[in-house]
Amino acid sequence: MYLITVLGNLLIILAVSSDSHLHTPMYFFLSNLSLVDICFTSTTVPKMLVNILTQSKVITYAGCITQMHFFILFAVLDDILLTVMAYDRFVAICHPLHYTVIMNPRLCGLLVLVSWIITVSLFYGSVLGVYFSSAATQSSHSSAAASVLYAVVTPMLNPFIYSLRNKDIKRALKRFYGMAGTKGTIILR
């Protein structure tokens, strides 16, 4: 899951940076969100993998403080970027001349409701579950499962949610793979 998270988010960054058609604010924010998701998962998952492999749960005080600092930093940055992306879409949606007919208030409300229930409940629900369950019981299995959910699964799903259903990103990835194939062919000749 960690490799899928890193590779999926790297593909978004490469697609956005390599295609001039995607040099818009929306894709700029999306590539930044991808970078933050890579950093967010990289603050905890490598140490978690080492702990699993070595069967050791030891971390130094300085390592713990550093890990928590970057974990909170990237979690907050993730939230801020999502807010900025929402504001960007709000501006893009609300100001075109004919868009108000297509995007009626009922549809907007439904989209917001679905969003809150699903990119927020998945993340914050699992975070709250970890902290409430750890205070109530000492079940490390359920805490570990919830931790993996918000530390790995959510950032892993972001590339799929934000890009693979997006025609512009698909087109950019096809062009990127085409350029890579063409460059490889030219070099070999």
Res. 188 pLDDT band, cuts 50 70 90: very low
DSSP 72-128: HHHHHHHHHHHHHHHHHHHHHHHSSSSHHHHS-HHHHHHHHHHHHH---HHHHHHHH
| Topology given in CATH for the domain delimited by 2-188 | Rhopdopsin 7-helix transmembrane proteins (1.20.1070)
Given a cut of 80, is residue 137 above it in pLDDT?
no
Select the more confidently predicted residue: 28 or 13: 13
Identify which of 112, 142, 116, 115 has the alpha carbon closest to the alpha carbon of residue 129: 142
Q: Which residue has the tokens 């993340």?
A: 123
Which tens digits make up the pLDDT trace of 142-166?
A: 666 666 666 777 777 777 777 666 7
Delimit the domains of the chain by residue range. 2-188
Select the more confidently predicted residue: 17 or 134: 17
Given a cut of 90, is residue 38 above it in pLDDT?
yes
Measured between alpha carbons, how far is 146 from 25 in angstroms, rounded to an integer? 33
Give the amino acid at 186.
Answer: I
- pLDDT of 10 reads 92
- pLDDT of 186 reads 46
Average pLDDT, integer, range 34-42: 90
